[in-house]
Structure 1
């Protein structure tokens, strides 16, 4: 029996979709779903969700739920991580505290100051997970959904280089679907490949019946001027390739958009958007709890949209697929650092994941990726060496932060965030660094 451990199973909507996608494959109808969360209430909702889906689909999954992570990992074939260390309170801190300094973010979970501190909270837990896996399920695949994606996968490669790890994100998948709808072609008949870094990859190949679709997209934009008031369209206009993350996310990875009120208005950006999303997630948890108690069927999306179920099915059955994954750059993108984590196409079969070498990115796209990877590298080094100065230097390298704040303000902001997150951070990094120290 295939055993799949869900770590952070209390991520209610995510767990619901993953379980549904998995159990819709006949070959996975009898899997063992080992659910784990540190929050007993959320874990109970996750277990109820999985059991309802199993009953509705008429499958025969074995479902267990435990507050003990090691129990969930013991004997697992696949481990799916979707944890949020510190929960919504830490997320709100990452967004609201920088805003007091005048630093705008939209989501704050990938790079920049929010991504740096989310990573530093997550690294100790991720390191503990990988240590448990090396003991309890050393041959398992670790399929990570937790943000900041690139930094987490990079950290796993540092602390557990012997484990099989891939980071999964649906941004490329949904970009391809949204673009196909925009230009009026069925996505099933398109071919697409993207490469770059997570949440800032580039649609390098995008065709329909062998014809490049970019001319259709340019014509669509010309016909609807309001599209030009979106961040991704501006990036496409300036760099020549369409980015794979939403305009809201993409706005905070560059220096171009959140630096002034005028730019925020021009590109229709909603700063602090993730605060509303986080509160909506809490409302969804409450609604799901009520629906389970009343026996009301939970809403399920049709079709397998998530990559983890597709990968698991391919490895178990030998079905060949191509997905996009985040892995260490070992000869995959020539003009990005070779130890960094990049997002590339990946063939999957019974032998596992086989990332596709994409050569060199267009130089302007690689240039846009470099600051993102500089933030990542400095954050990794801060955690690896225990040097708190590197935390501040990571934020200094972020285009959004450095376009909005002075170096002294960035230093003070980091001191405030260290104090706010406290014991969630690695012990060596919990100290202030005087801004004037030479």
Structure 2
């Protein structure tokens, strides 16, 4: 039996915490591990602790979760740290969506790139470096930080470059697209071999094989003929058509990372589908996260009455975290896709960038084979995003608002929609709105406040977006409790598309 400590930071995130714990405790050797939860929200932390502790007891395990708002206490002697934080919560998230809309920037998700993703990174990097400081001081020297928080590449970049903590970024995007590819060919996912490489949320399926036969060139026709994806994945299919390879991220996500699909209000609905938020709804992820949190907090007593999660191999999810820890501790080989510093893995992307590529894990550690060159088109798309990420990381670490503004300038969608004067004013507004989460920008925020109060302002719009839907009330969600529970409890809120 393995005995070690795992600490969950941001454990009040029900979607990730409960599922990841189920996956970990499905490993028979982990029946005696130590588990610590920490979160800044004591109420959310206690609800998730109670629910997970109930699951543990119902599965016959003698593990008691330690839950505390004292992060350093939770990190003491930890060997693995799983991070799922969202700095600023839904309050800050709403400013990431609503303020850019005033300038015509229409985002579906806003957590990876574009205005929302850049500002999310500014909040997150400052906190991640503080977390890294605590980890260095009180966790084990061989600690591994598994980061699930977005913007994945930026946060993982900062932790490795400036945090002094070995950090692997983890995402479920590759698995989701892998399922789709198998589906369009009428195959099972396990029977389709892929090589997927790029950067997080812009990872490309550069090789697809079934029984040794290469299917990569047949993919466009298969997607165009699919009765569902031909309607719901128009952006991804168009990128496949023009760049030759399918990208991991959803229609809504991908549409906000590139300059072509959301820059004109009157064209946005040509590229999206509102049967599910993830297909491109304006602020869709903010809406479903808000609904999920409201439902969990309201309906929590019923969650404690529902059937517990069953810790078994057949019930494990596809998140990489538990499999990485299992491989490191038991020696069972695991192959997944991990976000790490490039250092020559993808030879035509910058060496300092955080790339996402295939890796193998066993008792000897995490090994990343060399992928070589990405095809030129996909590499160009990734390189544009990496330039934004690098500027945003350096801005967040230094508190240099000039670099922050340059990150906004270089962002593909922002640059397609806004001119430089508009971008400068937009950044001023977003800095002021995020003041309590941006301590590194104290001086810049004071100057931004002065400009906004005393200088002539460019006109903005009261714009709600091309495809904004109303947040459902508790009463509306109660009409379909199964869907409300799924949304609140699932880490991948786009996995089931309805």
TM-score normalised by L of structure 1: 0.95
Task: Judge which range, 143-152 or 125-134, deviates more.
Answer: 125-134
User: Could you list the per-position Cα deviations for residues 280-306 of structure 1 after superposition, in whole angstroms to 9, with x for gaps in the alignment?
Assistant: 22134225622245x222567933311
C-alpha distance in 1 between matches for 2:209 and 2:295: 37
**Aligned: 1:280 with 2:284:** no
Preserved CA contact (<8 Å) 2:220 2:237: no
Preserved CA contact (<8 Å) 2:22 2:309: no
C-alpha distance in 2 between matches for 1:9 and 1:60: 20
* Structure 1: gaps (5+ residues): none
Task: Judge which range, 198-207 or 60-69, deviates more.
Answer: 60-69
Residue equivalent to 2:144: 141
C-alpha distance in 2 between matches for 1:226 and 1:263: 21
Alignment partner of 2:106 out of 104, 117, 141: 104
> Are residues 212 and 173 of structure 1, via their aligned partners in 2, closer, same or farther at CA, if it must alter by over 3 Å?
same
C-alpha distance in 2 between matches for 1:226 and 1:65: 43
Alignment partner of 1:77 out of 76, 79, 99: 79
Task: Judge which range, 23-32 or 145-154, deviates more.
Answer: 23-32
Preserved CA contact (<8 Å) 1:418 1:432: no
Residue equivalent to 2:166: 164
C-alpha distance in 1 between matches for 2:256 and 2:331: 40
Residue equivalent to 1:64: 66
SS at match of 1:253: coil
**Aligned: 1:219 with 2:234:** no
**Aligned: 1:296 with 2:306:** yes
C-alpha distance in 2 between matches for 1:39 and 1:385: 28
Preserved CA contact (<8 Å) 1:418 1:431: no
Deviation at 1:255, TM superposition (A): 0.4
Superposition RMSD on alpha carbons, in Å? 1.9
Deviation at 1:72, TM superposition (A): 0.8
Preserved CA contact (<8 Å) 1:35 1:46: no
C-alpha distance in 1 between matches for 2:9 and 2:299: 19
C-alpha distance in 1 between matches for 2:72 and 2:56: 24
Please list, as runs of the form range in 1=range in 2, the aligned pairs for 1:318-333 lying within 5 A after superposition: 318-333=331-346
C-alpha distance in 2 between matches for 1:227 and 1:316: 40
Alignment partner of 2:50 out of 43, 48, 51: 48
User: Could you list the per-position Cα deviations for residues 329-365 of structure 1 after superposition, in whole angstroms to 9, with x for gaps in the alignment?
Assistant: 1111111111111111111011221122111111111
Please list, as runs of the form range in 1=range in 2, the aligned pairs for 1:240-319 lying within 5 A after superposition: 240-268=244-272, 269-286=280-297, 289-293=300-304, 295-298=305-308, 302-319=315-332
Preserved CA contact (<8 Å) 1:10 1:46: yes
> Are residues 127 and 223 of structure 1, via their aligned partners in 2, closer, same or farther at CA, if it must alter by over 3 Å?
closer
C-alpha distance in 2 between matches for 1:266 and 1:363: 28
User: Could you list the per-position Cα deviations for residues 300-329 of structure 1 after superposition, in whole angstroms to 9, with x for gaps in the alignment?
Assistant: 793331100010111110111111111111
Please list, as runs of the form range in 1=range in 2, the aligned pairs for 1:118-133 lying within 5 A after superposition: 118-133=120-135
Deviation at 1:20, TM superposition (A): 0.8
Residue equivalent to 1:385: 398
Deviation at 1:279, TM superposition (A): 1.4
C-alpha distance in 1 between matches for 2:148 and 2:201: 13
Alignment partner of 2:411 out of 391, 395, 398: 398
How many matched pairs?
434
Deviation at 1:46, TM superposition (A): 1.4
SS at match of 1:257: coil
Deviation at 1:149, TM superposition (A): 0.3
TM-score normalised by L of structure 2: 0.83
> Are residues 335 and 314 of structure 1, via their aligned partners in 2, closer, same or farther at CA, if it must alter by over 3 Å?
same
C-alpha distance in 1 between matches for 2:364 and 2:131: 24
C-alpha distance in 1 between matches for 2:414 and 2:14: 32
Residue equivalent to 1:86: 88
Deviation at 1:11, TM superposition (A): 0.5
SS at match of 2:434: helix
Residue equivalent to 1:234: 238
Preserved CA contact (<8 Å) 1:142 1:165: yes
Task: Judge which range, 300-309 or 347-356, deviates more.
Answer: 300-309
